[in-house]
Amino acid sequence: MRTFVSINIEDRELIKKIKDVAHEVRNDEYGINLTKDENLHFTLKFLGEINEKEKEEIINNLSKISLKSFSIRLKGLGVFPDLNYIRIIWIGAESQELMQLAEEVDKNTIKIKSNEKFVPHLTIARVKAVRDKEGLRERIIKFSKIDLGSYIVDKFYLMESKLLPEGPIYEPLKVFNLV
C-alpha cells in the first residue's frame, strides 16, 4: 500500500478560505486541477509502498510521539518548482512545532529514507497546462503574502493513497492524537 503521514485540514471554514484562494488563482484556466476538499493536508513524510508488517511497525513507532497540540499559521502562496515552470501551487505554514512534529515523524520512520527536506506546504492545485502563464504568475505573486489565519493541530494521520484515473483517494489507516 502507498502511504504517507499527514496533518489533515478538517475545519470547514478554513477549507472554504483555501478554496476561495485556489479558485481565484486558477481563474479560468482549464489545465489547473484544484485539490479536493477532503484531500487538503500537510504531508509530514511520504513513506511510499509498505507492507502490512511495516505498517504495524510504523503505527507502533508513531504511537510513541508525545507532543502537545499546537497552532499553525497558514500563510503565503508559493509554487514548485519555481515561477518559470509552475507544477504545484501551495499555501505555506509557519510553526516551529510543525517542524518538530515532522522531525519526530522522520525519526520514528527512520527505516524509510527521504531525500527531501521538509518544506511545510498545503497543495491547493496541480498545473497540467496554462494558456496565460504571465497571468497565472501575477495572480500567484498577488497572493504570495496571504494570511489565512491559524489552525489547531491536535492529531496527525497515517494515510493510504490510492491513485485512480479520476484522482487520488486518501484513506486514514491510523489517527495519532497529540496530548
CA distances (Å), origin 88, targets 74, 100, 140:
17, 25, 11
Cβ-based neighbours of 118, under 8 Å, separated by 6 or more: 44, 45, 99, 102, 103, 106
The C-alpha cell at 155 is: 492529531
> Of 26, 45, 121, 139, which residue is the catalytic one?
121
Sort 138 into a burial class: Cβ within 10 Å, 0-12 / 13-18 / 19+: exposed
Is 116 in contact with 86 (CB distance < 8 Å)?
Answer: no
Is 121 assigned a catalytic role? yes
Distance CA 143, CA 77 (A): 6
Tell me how far CA of residue 37 lies from CA of 74, 114, 133, 153, in angstroms: 16, 27, 25, 17
128 DSSP 8-state letter = S
Q: Of the residues 26, 41, 45, 139, which is catalytic?
A: 41
Q: Which residues are catalytic?
A: 41, 121
